[in-house]
Structures are given as structure tokens and as C-alpha cells.
Amino acid sequence: MEKIRLEICCGTTCFMLGADKLMRMETLLPEEFRERVEITGVPCLNVCMEESICRAPFVRINGVPHAQATVESVFEEIRKLLEKEEREDSE
């Protein structure tokens, strides 16, 4: 089974605007997600320029950027993806 790719922006803008907790994601991940998610820290995703600055911090989940990310919103998104996968497997 392919793992979900979670990329956390470690750019200074995201860091300044609240990503410090996201950067500790590895330790916060619930047991049931551990085997299913691959976390990497990545340099600035370059999506924080111009007006989208007020939507930082950003993370990328399976290549899709998510704005105003919190640990909770990221968990929610992972849960959705895993449920979708299970549905597809059972079909």
C-alpha cells in the first residue's frame, strides 16, 4: 500500500505564522497513522507570496497544497484519504 505523502513547509514564513507545531508532526501522529504516512520537511513551497501570505502555514498532502494548516486539519485530511482508500479497496 502506498503511503500518504505529507510535506510540511519549513519556510520561515510558515514557521513565523504558526508552523512550529506542524514541524513536530512526527511526534504528534496517532498510532493508527504511523505506518500509513510519510512525513518530510521541505523548503519553502513558494505559495505564500502576495495575498496568499495570510493563508500560511501551508502543507502539501499527496502533492496538493493545504492552506491555514493545523495539526488537527492535517489529521482530518489524512483520515479522509485513508477512508477513501479503504472504500476503494473493498469495492
**Rounded to the nearest 5 degrees, what angle is found at the Cα of 67, between the Cα atoms of 30 and 44?**
90
The cell for 11 is 519556510
Q: Whole-number minimum distance, CB 51 to other proteins, in Å?
A: 7
Q: Does 44 bind other proteins (CB under 8 A)?
A: yes
67 binds other proteins (CB under 8 A): no
One residue of 4, 41, 65, 73 binding other proteins per CB under 8 A: 41
Of residues 1, 27, 31, 43, which one binds other proteins by CB under 8 A? Answer: 43
